[in-house]
Each structure stands twice: as C-alpha cells, then as structure tokens.
Structure 1
Amino acid sequence: MPESAWKFLFYLGCWSYSAYLLFGTDYPFFHDPPSVFYDWTPGMAVPRDIAAAYLLQGSFYGHSIYATLYMDTWRKDSVVMLIHHVVTLVLIVSSYAFRYHNVGILVLFLHDFSDVQLEFTKLNIYFKARGGSYHRLHAVVADLGCLSFCFSWFWFRLYWFPLKVLYATFHSSLLAVPDIPFYFFFNALLLLLTVMNLYWFLYIVAFAAKVLTGQMRELKDLREFDMAEAQSPKPSKAE
C-alpha cells in the first residue's frame, strides 16, 4: 500500500501540473496540437515551467528503471514495463535536448491520468479489507475506479494520443519544419509507446471479460506473476 500511495500522490501531482500548463496558461498545445511546432528552432529556450516538469518526470523514470530491475516483484509484463521506462526516459531526455518539449508536455499529460486512476483504485482495494473487516464504500469506489480506469486508458492513450500527438509529430511537424531533425527517431519511439499501450490494453480487456463472465469476483491485478511457479521445473515423464 505505501508504494501505491506514493505513486498516487506523484502521478496526481504531475498530471495536475501538466493540466495547469495546458489549461491554466497560454500554451495552446492541447486544443491546437500542431502549435507544438510553431516557431520551433534548434536550441530554443525551454520555459522554466516546462523544464521543471521535465526534471521531475525524468528523475522518476530514472528511478523506475532501477526499481523494476532490482526492487519490484517480477511480473508477466515486467520486460515490457522495463522497455516502457527506458523508452520514456529516452524520450524525455532527447526531447528536452532537441527542444521538442512542447510535445513532451502533451505526452505526459495524456499518459499520467490513467496512472492516477490505477493507483487510486489499488488504494481502495487495500482499504476495503483493512482491519479485518469489509468496507463497502471502498469496495464501491474500487469498482467505479476500475471502470473509469479502463475508459480513461482507451480515451487518453489510444484515442487522444494518436489524434493529438502522433498527428502533430507525423504530419504537422513536416508542415511547420520541413527538414525537422530526428523525425524518424522520435516518431519510432512514440509508435513503440503506442504499441505498449495497446499491449496493456489487452490486459484490461481480459480483466473486463473475466469480470463480465463471472470468472472473477474480486478485483485483482492481472499483471501478477508467480515467479516461483514460473521458475520451478516441470516434472518429467520419467518422474
């Protein structure tokens, strides 16, 4: 539970700050995605408010790589999770270095929202059985959070992300800067991020199918992977 509480607060803070940048300032990137490349020049100054978000997120994903390798329980998708963290950190560092930070803020905003809901739902799953008794309020909130998480994952990562980010990076970037550097490099990483979002969405669909068909009555993490079971040798025919 402490890990989920920490992650919930972190993602909530990061997403709220990204939302503030996109909706509480003069940045038009969400409503006008092609604007991320307006007036782009190599070596342009990075605004301090965006640089602060980059520093925070870069530090987090740097730690996440270490945590996945040496601290977290190994799961079915841990390899994909590790690739995700590496790709994200490379995108953060390289987009800052080559001044694609406007796109980066949009990417972070669209990805952090579902993580907020995921950790919030996990917390309520823990709370519903705390103290050896059943707490119905937390159970209802966990169920609603699960539904909201499924919807937000699709809407933010699989609908808005291609609609706003990929459209801007694949199409609008060439219109604004015809010879924009590292075009294929950044778009390849963003496509890889999209593929991983689709991969995890399969887990979400599998989870929903189990709930709807009655195969699962309690919320559980489909990512759980029993390492002892996976590593134990199967009995041979001779045995």
Structure 2
Amino acid sequence: MEYRRIESIRDPLFKQMHQLMQDIFPPEEVLEFDLWKEPLEDPGIRVFVADLEGEVVGATEYRYYEDFNVAMTDFTIIGRDGLGIGPFLAQKRFEDLNALAVASGKQLFGMFAEIYDPYRVEYHEFGAVNSMDPYVRREVLSHLGYKRLNFPYVHPSWHNDGEAVTGLDLCFLPMESISTEVKTELIVKFLKRYYSVLSNKPKSWHEMIENLEAEEAVTLLPI
C-alpha cells in the first residue's frame, strides 16, 4: 500500500477517491467533483489516498496551521475492512504532520477532529463498510488518544445556508497525554479560521463562540 498525495482533479486516483466518497458518505457530505479543484490545489489542504496496486482503498484529508501549531483532520475513509487501512492512514498522516511541524521549528501541539455522536443521533449511514460505522469510528478516535472538548458543539453547514448541524463533538488529540484541558483562545482562533470560508453561519454558532470566549479553558473528557 502506498500513501499518495492528490493535488488535482485530473489525477486518475482522484476520480476513484471521489467515487469512494460517494459510496461511503451521505450525499449531502460529498462535494461535487468540479468543486474539488481549488481545495486540491491549495497547498495548505493535504489530501492523500491509500493506493493498493492502483486501487484507492482509503483516503484522508487534513491541514496543518503553522501559526497555531495544530492540525485538523477533515475526514478519513476506510474503503475495505481487513486491510489495515485505518492504522496505515493514521501513521502516515502523523508522520507527515510531524515533518511539517519540525520544518517550522516546532513540535506538533495537537490535532482537532469532529466526530458524530451516535448516542445522540441514532442513524448515520456510511456505506457498507463496518469500519466506518459511527460507533466504531468513535472508539477508534478514543484509542488514538483523542478526547472530547466539553462544550455543546455546533457545526455550520457546508452548504453555507446558515443551518446549524448538531449531533457532533469537537475532539482534540493532545501530543502530551497528561493534558486535561485546552485554552479557549486556541479553540476560538482555530474555529474562526477553519470556518472562515463560510459567510453564512447560524446564530447558534456565533453564540457558541461568545460562550467560549467567556471562558479560559475547556476540559478534555473521554470520548
């Protein structure tokens, strides 16, 4: 298995990756093929696939914010069970992010990720791959060391229609395992940067940010 970066919609592997996304994710979460052109060409957005003899069997998208010294995992896709795709992608992503941090003279502070909470939202269909089941994905993040940030999280819809998406948790993987909290200043700066492309955010998102700004830190809890 090889870890290959995708930087153009003209890459033959991207066509496979986009089809895999459609097979795995609900339709409303899959960006149209042509709309991927700019994200793939953005040097700050890193999209990699797991290439098994010419077949895309997994993928991950993430980004590193040098000024914050944190990363964000946008998604991870396991296309087939029983091939060790999850550990492969996680290890390669970690190596890449560490190299980016070292290149900027730092040691990676941590990584954010959003995760569905199936205990609150019962139905989420993710293809027919058992590894992508929301309960499994949540446990995998927990095993990797992620912890849940203890505040009510609101996710602005990527349709940019002002709708609020709930039923998710914002999680954080601290590189120092003894960490018990994250400064709200970092969380707020990250969320404002990450969602800066969306001009139409829901009122509840702005209220969430205001509530965070009134606190000094957010506790990390088990997922």
Q: Which has the higher helix share?
A: 1
> TM-score scaled to structure 2, two decimals?
0.29
**Larger relative contact order (C-alpha < 8 A, sep ≥ 6)?**
1
> TM-score scaled to structure 1, two decimals?
0.28
Look at both structures and tell me which one has the larger radius of gyration over its CA atoms: 1
